[in-house]
Structure 1
């Protein structure tokens, strides 16, 4: 059933929010992320194979631990936006937003009239009738977030026009794909990439749209905080788990087996 979006509430105030990407479709992992104290999780259906029933159970796991669940959908897929929201997600992360038309299509799929034209449905999000349907439409438009991921040089250049039309709740940076777009794949700290991220943040600030950073180091985090950023994705659970496993083994195996 539709929950209150505490991340959106913090964006309107002064609080910070921290999240993780989650690519392994395991409800137990989602619960662990919530129990660890993160505020939100971005369930990845762009790069991961997640069937609709799995996704619904991942969202249920997030709800069980008061973790706000967003879903990163495949590029230019309004059907995926609809299914994610009907499963109970409190927002969608739309990858590769390059033009205002890309954002308009996502808004149309994610919001009910008069803001969009999301297909009407009942089911679990209105609590199987616990929320009156016209009231659900109103509350869904108020709670559900459209998060634009800017990860292409074209998107950086077009960002003033993208943001000018409104309708976006948060802009998430995508330094990895940005690096490829600028011809320096995986060089996320390259000067061109860093400058592009600063441009994205500046445009968001100019248009009053919150910006979400993905800091790679503690220094990155502190710099974004000093710039006024209050929403952060702190990586992905696969990378965190792999590093923790290697560190744990190294601590016991010792340098003689390196």
Structure 2
């Protein structure tokens, strides 16, 4: 059933929010992320193969541990936006936003009239009738976040017009794909990439739109916090698990030697 979006509340105030990307479609893993104390999870249906029933159960797992569930949908797929929100996601991460038309299409799919034209439906999010449907429409529009991922040079250039039209609740940087867009694949610390991220943050700040950073080191985290950023995606669970597994093995090998 529809819940309060505590991440949206924090960003409207002075609080910070920390999340993780999650690509392994395991409800237990989602529960672990919530129990570890993260505020939100970005369930990945862009790069990962997740069937609709799996996704709904991942969202249920997040709800069970008070973890705000967002879903990264495939690029230019309004149908996917509808389905993940009907499954209970409290926000959609829209990849490769390059122009205002991309945002307009996402808003139309994600919000009910008069803000959009999301297809009307009952089901699990209105609590199978526990929330009166006209009240549900109002609350869903208030709680659902449209999160634009800026990961192309074109998106950086078009960001003023992307944001000036309104409707974007959070901008998430994508330094990896951005590096490729600038011709320096995987060089996420390249000066061109860092300058682009600074431009994205500045445009967001000028328009009072929250910006979410993906710090790749504690130093990055400190720098973004000092710049006023209050939302962070701290990596992906696969990378964290792989590094922890290697470190665990290395530790025991060193002790044995």
TM-score bracket, shorter-length normalisation:
over 0.9
Structure 1 residue 254, shift from structure 2 partner? 1.9
**CA distance in 2: counterparts of 1:256 and 1:188, whole angstroms:** 37
1:104 partnered with 2:104: yes
What pairs up with 1:116-155 in 2 under 5 angstroms?
116-155=116-155
CA-atom RMSD, angstroms?
Answer: 0.9
SS in 2 for 1:254: helix
Structure 1 residue 253, shift from structure 2 partner? 1.3
**CA distance in 1: counterparts of 2:27 and 2:255, whole angstroms:** 36
Structure 1 residue 237, shift from structure 2 partner? 0.1
Structure 1 residue 256, shift from structure 2 partner? 8.1
Query: Which residue of structure 2 lines up, in the alignment, with residue 245 of structure 1?
Result: 245
**1:25-45 CA deviation, whole Å, 9 max, x = no partner?**
000000000000000000000
Query: Which residue of structure 2 lines up, in the alignment, with residue 30 of structure 1?
Result: 30
**1:215-234 CA deviation, whole Å, 9 max, x = no partner?**
00111000000000000000
Query: Which residue of structure 1 lines up, in the alignment, with residue 217 of structure 2?
Result: 217
| Runs of 4+ residues over 3 Å off in structure 1 | none
**CA distance in 2: counterparts of 1:73 and 1:10, whole angstroms:** 24
Query: Which residue of structure 2 lines up, in the alignment, with residue 59 of structure 1?
Result: 59
Give the number of aligned pairs.
257
State the TM-score, normalized to the length of structure 2. 0.99
What pairs up with 1:55-204 in 2 under 5 angstroms?
55-204=55-204
Could you list the runs of 5+ residues in structure 1 that have no partner in the other structure? none
Structure 1 residue 236, shift from structure 2 partner? 0.1
**1:197-228 CA deviation, whole Å, 9 max, x = no partner?**
00000000011100000000111000000000
Query: Which residue of structure 2 lines up, in the alignment, with residue 3 of structure 1?
Result: 3
